[in-house]
Chain A
Amino acid sequence: MSDEQVDQMSTPTGYTEYHPRWYRTRLGTLWWLRRRSYLVFILRELSSVFVAWYVVFLLLLMHAVGQGGVEYQRFLRWAANPWVVGVNVVALIFVTFHAVTWFTLAPKAMVMRLRGKRIPSEWIAGSNYLAWAAVSALVAWLVLGR
């Protein structure tokens, strides 16, 4: 195949006279308010915003800890601001929602077989929840002192 042909194939197809017309219904901006399942979908997607917020919060915390004790105390006072607490309350709800939906969906993405038989989805979800509990306990133990 010549280079020109390859080039022609990879260029996006524009409108041509004989091109079949797409059938696509237009969705409004608020389509996800129409059904509960759509709303849950968009809330799950929005949980990522709070994941990002908390990474920023964590970076500020680590920076403060690296700067010294005074900066660390100042960070804790800043984090006690009503608006920061408010955002973190919402963040806790969303990251927990993210964790629950993620672990519940995991068996659907992860099909594992043992001696030709599919491992029941409860086992996969269950082991995910166990890992969640173990990591949470480990983090609490490390932070709160041994």
Chain B
Amino acid sequence: MPKRPIEPFLWLLFSAGGVLAALFLPILVFLFGLAFPLKWISSPRHDDLLALLRNPLTLVVLFVLCALALFHWAHRFRYTLYDGLQIKHLNRLINVFCYGGALVGSAAAAYVLLQAR
């Protein structure tokens, strides 16, 4: 794989995303993925959640969390494909899929959050 000057920057995004995902995701998956849908805990009222979502600080935190967690995925999954499946020859395709996906996802996050505002 050729060395590119962008690599340290991508690694930084990976590592920052790893920290945020580790801090925020377990509780979020537990609450919104399991506890509320399965009615272990009664789900929050819509207006409360909307008010929380519209708070500027929440918007910023959620955007940064979504974008960096996606770049974390992109970087790690890229190497999973390289090393795990030994498909280094599809290099370019994998890069486009991973980092392109993270860019598209970040744009989607910005769009969703700006609409909810």
Binds B, one of A1-9, A15-23, A117-125, A136-144: A136-144
Provide the residues of chain B in CB contact with A57, threshold 8 Å.
32-33
**A-B contacts at CB below 8 angstroms, number:** 158
Q: How large is the interface on B (under 10, 10 to 19, 20 to 34, 35 or more residues)?
A: 35 or more
Report whether B80 and A79 are in contact in the complex, using a CB–CB cutoff of 8 Å.
no
Provide the residues of chain B in CB contact with A51, threshold 8 Å.
17, 21, 25, 69, 72-73
Report whether B44 and A69 are in contact in the complex, using a CB–CB cutoff of 8 Å.
no
| Contact pick for A59, options B33, B66, B80, B84, CB 8 Å | B66
Interface of B is mostly: helix
* B70: interface (CB < 8 Å): yes
Which residues on A are within 8 Å of B, measured CB to CB? 12, 27-29, 31-32, 42, 45-46, 48-49, 51-52, 54-59, 61-63, 65-66, 68-69, 72-73, 76-77, 79-80, 84-85, 88-89, 91-92, 95-96, 98-99, 102-103, 109, 131-132, 135-136, 139-140, 142-145
Leading 3 A-B pairs by shortest Cβ distance = A66-B116, A88-B33, A99-B22
Which residues on B are within 8 Å of A, measured CB to CB? 2, 15, 17-19, 21-34, 36-38, 41, 43-44, 46-50, 52-53, 58, 62, 65-66, 69-70, 72-73, 76-77, 79-80, 83-86, 101, 105, 108-109, 112-113, 115-116
Contact sample, A vs B, 26 pairs, CB 8 Å cutoff = A29-B86, A42-B84, A52-B77, A52-B101, A57-B32, A58-B32, A59-B66, A59-B112, A63-B115, A66-B53, A66-B115, A68-B46, A69-B47, A72-B46, A79-B32, A79-B36, A80-B37, A88-B29, A88-B34, A92-B30, A95-B26, A99-B21, A102-B19, A103-B22, A136-B27, A143-B49
